[in-house]
Structure 1
Amino acid sequence: TRVMVHKAQQSPKKIVYPEGEEEKIIRAAQSVYEDKIALPILLGNKEIIENKIKEIGFDVSHFEIVDPERSNKSEIYSNKFYEKRQRKGITLHEAHLMMKQPNYFAAMMVEMGDADALVGGLTYHYPQTLRPALQCIGVRDGLKVVSGMYIVIIKRKIFFFADTTVNIDPTAEELAEIAITTADAAKAFDVEPKVAMLSFSNFGSASYPQSQKVAKATQIVKQLRPDIMIDGEMQADTAVVPERLEKEFPFSTLKGSANVLIFPDLDSGNIAYKLFQRLTDATVIGPIINGMKKPVHVIQRGDTVQDIINISAIAVVDASR
């Protein structure tokens, strides 16, 4: 995270926080401002937010505060959102109502260029932050899916896990896309990606549709991005124990321990990161959303102020890419 904070400080951006009335958000926004990571925009009732800022003892002038219910941008955002969604069942009246919701208003702020990144989700369920972002901003050109990545730091080693939060049962094509966007994200952290496509099978040892899907995804990545070091399908221990890989599978195009671990489905990815988070002393950072057209990063209900600061720094670097 120090790498990300340092990178963010070189080019601070405007971050919008839809849950601007929450104390944790206000505290994180203050740190982000003080450390010159970003310029925070807090959404919510102006009076409530200003009172909370004063109660905590911060300076109101450090924050831009926007009330979606009273903003003069609401009309512009509603019309733009209606334009995007009119053939997907949204009426103009519904668009106006939706723009009163901070999660939709924040996503449109980013889409319209009034903010550079969105960080939210502290009081929402995961889809309540992701869905408005997908409807307002959308997936990056050339991609079909977004995916959720966690950074897992353990025993002084860094790993990137995906997809941990979005796609329940990705196809081979989607899995290939997830592998590519995760490898590119690792590079943004100054880590040279070594990608393992995980399965219960090692290179055809247990040939079932589930493992064949992973093998097919691996081939797609190799064709589309020959610059990425990748192999699979392989078991998790094969991926992270280089001696085993070299001894039993010397033909593998993966050399050394993998640091990007791509899971075959959401079950395995979600379970894996949560076990690391709860049963080990690993530092687990995320989820980081890869594949959005503009930066949207989801925080979670139990996140600490420091977690929010970390994700904010990542959002700024994402916006600078």
Structure 2
Amino acid sequence: MSRVARSVYVTGIDRGDGRQAVELGVMELLARQVDAVGVFRPLVHADDPAEKGTDHVVELLRARYRVDLPAEDLYGLSYEEAAALQAAQGQDELVSVLVDRFRAVERRCQAVLVLGTDFAGTNIPDELAFNARLANEFGAWVLPVVGGQGEDAQAVVAEVRNAHRAYTDLGCSALAMIANRVAPAAKQRIQRTLTEKLPVPVYVIPEEPSLSAPTVAQLVDATGAEVLLGDAAGLARDVRSFVFGGAMLPTFLDALTEGALVVTPGDRADLLIGALAAHAAGAPPIAGVLLTLGQHPGPNVMALAARLAPGTPVAVVPEGSWLTAAALTHLEGRIGPDSHRKAETALGLFELHVDTAELTKRIELSPSERVTPMMFEHALLERARAQRRHIVLPEGTEERVLRAAEVLLRRNICDLTLLGERDAVQRRAASLGLELPHPEEAADRARLRIVDPATSPLRESFAELYARARAHKGMTLERALDVVTDVSYFGTLMVQEGIADGMVSGAVHSTAATIRPAFEVIRTAPGAAIVSSVFFMCLADRVLVYGDCAVNPDPDAQQLADIAVQSAETAAQFGVEPRVAMLSYSTGTSGSGADVDKVREATELVRRARPDILVEGPIQYDAAVDPHVAATKLPGSSVAGRATVLVFPDLNTGNNTYKAVQRSAGAVAVGPVLQGLRKPVNDLSRGALVEDIVNTVAITAIQSQRPAEGAEQ
């Protein structure tokens, strides 16, 4: 291209190509590289483009990727406005207006994703050529998406080749070609044939039924139903099929399938209660119940329904089953601002079948010098996914853990083992409306296992291993058989034996319950005197590493030096260039006293042990991070004013400082991340959010990608 393109124009050749998943995937890719990403929809189906929620994809991207631009700036014109303008003044004027509005977005962003027309009732003559012209005028790469639903391999190949020729003949620079929603059995043949015949990268994405499945909320909107029961998570469930209830209960129960929406007359209380009871038992987990004929069950029935399956949607429509069925059968799912689960599925699918590294290289974006919290979190997930590991989560029935597990599996971040009694885990997941994959699902997707320590065949061998390891403390095999049924011990032993690569716990267990088994079984890595921790503090424009804020109350000078070395190594492992500040209440030689002397001694120990690490201390926090203060207090220092790793003199200072920065500066605190163990085990805060658990699991997976020295000892 004549200039470096900072925009990608995603377009198609017809409707039904499932382009939303590709648009989401490209936006994710751009957001990993730069912090100011924009989105622009040239034409939109609305009389008022400024109306909030006008376009569900734009609103999804705007919310998810924190596009800091007014909503009205992200749209060009409505289709009606565009048609009137073209009729009155010609296409050149229409294009000129759209280019001006696009440039207004581009000037404020480092990269822009452009969403092409949707080929659905647009009344645009030669719509493909119109998209091509806009892409050229915008100076954007074009990324055509060809839908393959219901097509054989030969037809998909022909359509992709024709689309490539059409866009390149019109002067477009094709970033790549994507065949989407193809039959899984035809994927490899299509990929092989197109790779041989086209000069640009080709990616083939198979059909994913959950993306085309409507949610319960969509069906409620489409039918005008009144919601009697159900929470937001329940309404977000995918509807995979319909079961129309008319039979007696035993026959009806046999017809239930996972993800089915039950449609039955409102006077069939037996089918309502039977369906919800089956759901509560975990087999099968249904999407919800839609009652017809406008009949509301009595209060006693509704009270029982609410207790059986809290959160599971129950709604009522005035029409009968026949008219209701007609309204439901042609609905197709879409990814909107509230479709968080669909978004995770779409991203997982895109990242599994598209070489994002190759695509990023072709776009040639210059990565931002700023590292925002979102960029850091995206980088964690990308690195974890690059070498998929297996992480064990002992708290298998905890809601936040289960929700995090669903995200991790949908995004293909890692394989997981949930510990707990199988039926209890499945019932809990079903009650939350979560969709966890079956172990036999495709090998290229992240897998889930559910293991009950009490009944696992590993229990006996783990007990023998633990009894030997703790024999010096008087541990017997009989006692060990009981100890290893504790999920924290069982998970730790899975890690020790290489059955899992790492463990994350602490959402409901104490720090001691999580860390003690690791101290007893995994032990410290060679060269590490202690186990310590860091937090990644994601500020608005950079990432700092704080240590130790969670484990060691009052480390001595040697331990403090060990924490500094471990923290520098952890920082480097996660892409933060280590410049270590050993914090104290004085800077340089200005202060004295036992506390300052400890920090001064620790600094010298680090310099002697690791001359390759840039370290300064004792130093005050302001001199460590503020160049202006540093110029006064420690001129000429290679660390002062530029520190990235901040080592606190004690736990009291570190823990309070990280929380103060988190709350006062709006920083995202990722951690605590344990360091110094031979194999990774990480502790969660008991107040951890789902996003915190996802990030901590990703960090644990990354830690396990670097083989721990002496892990076999």
Confirm or deny: 8 A CA contact 1:53 1:60 kept in the other structure. no
Counterpart check, 1:44 vs 2:420: yes
Number of the residue aligned with 2:258: none
Number of the residue aligned with 1:11: 387
Number of the residue aligned with 1:216: 601
1: CA distance between counterparts of 2:629 and 2:398?
49
Confirm or deny: 8 A CA contact 2:625 2:640 kept in the other structure. no
1: CA distance between counterparts of 2:652 and 2:475?
33
Q: Which amino acid aligns with 1:7?
A: R
Unaligned runs of 5+ in 1: none
Confirm or deny: 8 A CA contact 1:18 1:42 kept in the other structure. yes
- The alignment yields a C-alpha RMSD, in angstroms, of 1.3
**Counterpart mapping for 1:302-321 below 5 A:** 302-321=687-706
2: CA distance between counterparts of 1:158 and 1:315?
18
Displacement of 1:254: 2.0
**Counterpart mapping for 1:144-293 below 5 A:** 144-250=529-635, 252-254=637-639, 256-293=641-678
Confirm or deny: 8 A CA contact 2:629 2:641 kept in the other structure. no
Paired residues, what number?
A: 321
1: CA distance between counterparts of 2:616 and 2:474?
43
Higher relative contact order (CA 8 A, sep 6+): 1
2: CA distance between counterparts of 1:122 and 1:52?
16
Counterpart check, 1:118 vs 2:503: yes
Number of the residue aligned with 1:295: 680
1: CA distance between counterparts of 2:540 and 2:434?
39
| Residue of 411, 424, 435 corresponding to 1:58 | 435
2: CA distance between counterparts of 1:142 and 1:91?
31
What is the TM-score with the length of structure 2 in the denominator?
0.44
2: CA distance between counterparts of 1:27 and 1:278?
25
Confirm or deny: 8 A CA contact 1:240 1:258 kept in the other structure. yes
Number of the residue aligned with 2:462: 77
1: CA distance between counterparts of 2:532 and 2:436?
37
Displacement of 1:251: 5.0
Provide, for residues 245-273 of structure 1, a one-character-per-residue CA deviation record: whole Å limited to 9, x for no partner. Answer: 22332253425421110000111011111
Q: State which structure, 1 or 2, has the greater radius of gyration over its C-alpha atoms.
A: 2
Provide, for residues 14-59 of structure 1, a one-character-per-residue CA deviation record: whole Å limited to 9, x for no partner. Answer: 1100001112111111211111110010000111112223332414
**Counterpart mapping for 1:63-142 below 5 A:** 63-142=448-527
Confirm or deny: 8 A CA contact 2:581 2:640 kept in the other structure. no
Q: Report SS of the residue matched to 2:544.
A: strand
Q: Which amino acid aligns with 1:319?
A: S
What is the TM-score with the length of structure 1 in the denominator?
0.97
2: CA distance between counterparts of 1:305 and 1:254?
35
Q: Which amino acid aligns with 1:313?
A: A
Q: Report SS of the residue matched to 1:195.
A: strand
Number of the residue aligned with 2:285: none
Provide, for residues 177-231 of structure 1, a one-character-per-residue CA deviation record: whole Å limited to 9, x for no partner. Answer: 1101111111112111111000012123221111111011111111111111111
Displacement of 1:119: 0.6
Q: Which amino acid aligns with 2:658?
A: Y
1: CA distance between counterparts of 2:703 and 2:494?
16
Confirm or deny: 8 A CA contact 1:147 1:165 kept in the other structure. yes
Number of the residue aligned with 1:30: 406
Q: Which amino acid aligns with 1:58?
A: E
2: CA distance between counterparts of 1:255 and 1:23?
44
1: CA distance between counterparts of 2:588 and 2:478?
55
Confirm or deny: 8 A CA contact 2:616 2:640 kept in the other structure. no
Confirm or deny: 8 A CA contact 1:14 1:41 kept in the other structure. yes
Deviates further, 74-83 or 245-254 = 245-254
Q: Report SS of the residue matched to 1:90.
A: coil
Confirm or deny: 8 A CA contact 2:537 2:543 kept in the other structure. yes
Q: What stretches of structure 1 move > 4 A for 4+ residues in a row?
A: none
Deviates further, 239-248 or 114-123 = 239-248
Provide, for residues 100-121 of structure 1, a one-character-per-residue CA deviation record: whole Å limited to 9, x for no partner. Answer: 1000000000001110010111
